[in-house]
Structure formats: C-alpha cells, structure tokens
C-alpha cells in the first residue's frame, strides 16, 4: 500500500539552531504513530512544517502524492491534512457550539470544492450538535470557549480539527495539561472519532504512547533516533537516554 504521508530529507534551521536534520518519514494509511522526544527535539516543528506554518529549509513533504511543502496551512487542510495544537486554538469569545458551527459552516460552504462532504447549509446545525455529542461537549455547549477547563479545550480543539474530514490528523500533545485520569478518556474519545484516519500524535506520557500507538518515532535534536513498535522503541538505549531521561543504562 502506498504511504499516505512522506517526508524526505526535511531540514530546518533557525540561525544556529537545527530544529530538523534530514528527517525521513513514511507513514502508512490508517496507522497510528506516536511522536516522542524531549522538549525542543523538533516534534512540533515537524508538525508545523507538515501543515504549512513553517517552510522547511530543504526537503519535501507529500500527502498521497500531492506536494505539501511550503503550502499555506489553508491549502494543506484542503488537501486532507489537519492538526490540533499544543495550546488549543479556539474562538474564545464564541460558545463551544458556535466554535463548531464556524468549523462545520466552513466545510458546508466549501462542500464540493475540497471538503468532499454532503453537508448542506441547512444541515450545519444538526451536524454541529452531532459533533458536540460525539465529543462529550454537549454539557458545555453554551459556555464561551475561553472559560473552559483545559481538558474540554483540548477536546474542542481536536473536534474542530476533525470537522474538516482529514485523511491525516496530527495531534500536538492532546493530553498535556490534563489530569491523569482524564488523559485516557480524552484519547479514547479522540481515537474513536478518528477511526479510519491516519493519526500522528505527540505525547510525553509513555503509558498513552504504549496504549494507543502502533508505531513510535523518537525525536532528539532534530533527528529521528528510533522508529518502530512501541515496546522496542521505549526499550532502546538511545531513547531511554535522550527522551525518557534515564541515566546511562
């Protein structure tokens, strides 16, 4: 099967800091990949480059054959790649429902252009309510997004990313800032809603990584130092040293 996301020779520097050095990644469709690494290792930079917030200094990124490199986030989304954010990017003065209404409305307005959805303007309301239910957000529907608990903000952030019917979904620390018991609830909801979508998620909690990821990429200093099944990667000596932070084995 052809890989759905391919990064080849991606390099990115900020002055003297190398955030990505010769990254080569090939992701199979519908796989679930965990991205781990210490802070500053280049995980978010990778997501930023895939989704167009940053331009790689060199190298290429393709989704299902289509060139993503240096496209703006808007075009990248239209090509089927979506993301959530480390700090949830919401419309803070709008209610939870209105946030989703905006997202669903955008997809409905773009119905055949790129969204490939059957959404008509009349269905925007019901589709939004359905989304609220699916993500367990119904209780907060009229609360302004700026006044939500962190876990709910994260959920809303991911929900909006899924509204655009992506084929590839990148999640940047979907459970950070959330209490330990809530983490699994959130991941269950998210992974349930994202069935059939290729998911890459950045995570610091190794329990979560072990539970949900089928494959793990370990980042350190802009490089991928390990790539494989969770158990193998998490046991890798380099990974233990640079990512998990254990002293010399």
Partner 1 sequence: MSRDRTPLVLAAACGCLLAATPVAPQWLVFLLTLALTKGLVVLGLLLLMRAGLVSFGQGLYFGLGAYAAALLGARGGVLDGLVMIVAAIVAAAAIAAAIGLLLARYREIFFAMLSLAFSMILYGLLVKSSTLGSTDGFNLHARSFAGFALADGVGGRVFYVAAVIAVLAAGLAVHRYLGSHYGRLATAIRDNELRVEYLGASVFRVVYANYVAAGALGGLGGALAALAVGHVDPETTYWTTSGEFVFIAVLGGTGNVAAPFLAAGVFEAVRTLANQYAPNVWQMTLGIVMLLLILFLPAGLWSLVTRRRAGV
Partner 2 sequence: MTDLAAVLFDGVVYSSWLFLMAAGLTLIYGVMKILNIAHGSLYALGAYAGASMVGAWLAGGHPAVASYALLAVAALAVGLVMGPLLERGLLRLVYGKDEVVLLLVTYAVFLILEDAIKLVWGVESLMVSEPYALPGNFLIGELAYPVYNLILIGAAVALGLAVAWGLYRTRSGKLLLAVIHDREVSAAMGINVDRTYLYTFTIGATLAAAGGALTAPTIAVSPGIGVEVIVLSFAVVVIGGLGSLGGAALGALMVGIVRSIMVRYWPEAELFTIYLVMALVLIARPKGLFAAPEARKI
Distance from chain centroid for Cα 84: 5
Residue 117 as a binder of partner 2 (CB under 8 A): the answer is: no
Residue 228 as a binder of partner 1 (CB under 8 A): the answer is: no
Of residues 138 through 167, those in contact with partner 1 by CB under 8 A are: 143-144, 146-147, 160-161, 163-164
Residue 184 as a binder of partner 2 (CB under 8 A): the answer is: no
- Strand order through the sheet with 32-37: 81-83, 168-172, 198-202, 32-37, 215-220, 223-228
State whether residue 123 is helix, strand or coil.
Answer: helix
Question: Which of partner 1, partner 2, none binds 48 (CB below 5-8 Å, type-dependent)?
Answer: partner 2
Residue 48 as a binder of partner 2 (CB under 8 A): the answer is: yes
Q: Which residues pair with 23 in a beta bridge?
A: 10
Residue 94 as a binder of partner 1 (CB under 8 A): the answer is: yes
Among 13, 86, 117, 176, binds partner 2 (CB under 8 A): 86
Residue 220 as a binder of partner 1 (CB under 8 A): the answer is: no
| Angle between helical axes of 180-193 and 150-163 (0-180°, round to 10) | 10
Q: Minimum distance between the CB of residue 54 and partner 2, rounded to whole angstroms?
A: 8
| Cβ proximity to partner 2, 172 vs 236, nearer residue | 172
Among 13, 31, 89, 117, binds partner 2 (CB under 8 A): 89
Q: How far is CA 119 from CA 58, 125, 137, in A?
A: 38, 10, 21
| Cβ proximity to partner 2, 69 vs 84, nearer residue | 84
Alpha helices in 164-197 (DSSP H): 180-193
Question: What's the CA gap between 227 and 165, in Å, rounded?
Answer: 28
Among 44, 45, 48, 82, binds partner 1 (CB under 8 A): 82
Question: What's the CA gap between 35 and 161, in Å, rounded?
Answer: 18
Residue 56 as a binder of partner 1 (CB under 8 A): the answer is: no
| Cβ proximity to partner 2, 60 vs 89, nearer residue | 89
Question: Which of partner 1, partner 2, none binds 71 (CB below 5-8 Å, type-dependent)?
Answer: none
Question: What's the CA gap between 14 and 54, in Å, rounded?
Answer: 11
Q: How far is CA 86 from CA 69, 162, 189, in A?
A: 22, 16, 18
Cα angle 180, 157, 73 (rounded to 5 degrees) comes to: 130
For the record, the structure tokens of 135 come out as 């993500």
Residues that bind partner 1 (CB under 8 A): 51, 72-74, 77-78, 82-83, 89-94, 98, 101-103, 105-110, 114-115, 121, 124, 143-144, 146-147, 160-161, 163-164
Q: Which residues bind partner 2 (CB under 8 A)?
A: 44, 48, 53, 85-87, 89
């Amino acid at each position: 099967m052809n890989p759905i996301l391919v990064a080849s020779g991606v390099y990115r520097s900020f002055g003297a800091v190398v955030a990505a050095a010769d990254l080569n990644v090939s992701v199979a469709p519908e796989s679930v990949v965990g991205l781990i690494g210490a802070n500053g290792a280049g995980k978010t930079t990778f997501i930023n480059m895939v989704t167009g917030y940053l331009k790689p200094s060199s190298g290429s990124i393709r989704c299902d054959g289509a060139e993503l490199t240096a496209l703006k986030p808007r075009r990248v989304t239209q090509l089927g790649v979506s993301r959530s954010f480390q700090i949830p990017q919401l419309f803070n003065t709008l209610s939870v429902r209105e946030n989703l209404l905006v997202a669903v409305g955008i997809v409905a307005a773009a119905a055949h252009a790129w969204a490939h959805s059957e959404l008509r303007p009349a269905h925007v309301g019901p589709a939004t309510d359905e989304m609220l239910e699916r993500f367990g957000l119904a209780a907060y529907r009229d609360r302004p997004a700026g006044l939500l608990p962190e876990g709910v903000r994260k959920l809303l952030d991911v929900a909006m990313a899924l509204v655009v019917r992506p084929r590839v979904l990148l999640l940047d620390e979907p459970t950070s800032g959330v209490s330990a018991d809530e983490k699994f609830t959130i991941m269950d909801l998210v992974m349930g809603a994202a069935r059939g979508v290729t998911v890459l998620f950045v995570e610091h909690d190794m329990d979560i990584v072990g539970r949900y990821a089928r494959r793990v990429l370990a980042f350190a200093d802009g490089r991928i130092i390990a790539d494989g099944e969770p158990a193998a990667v998490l046991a890798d000596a380099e990974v233990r040293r640079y990512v998990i932070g254990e002293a010399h084995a």
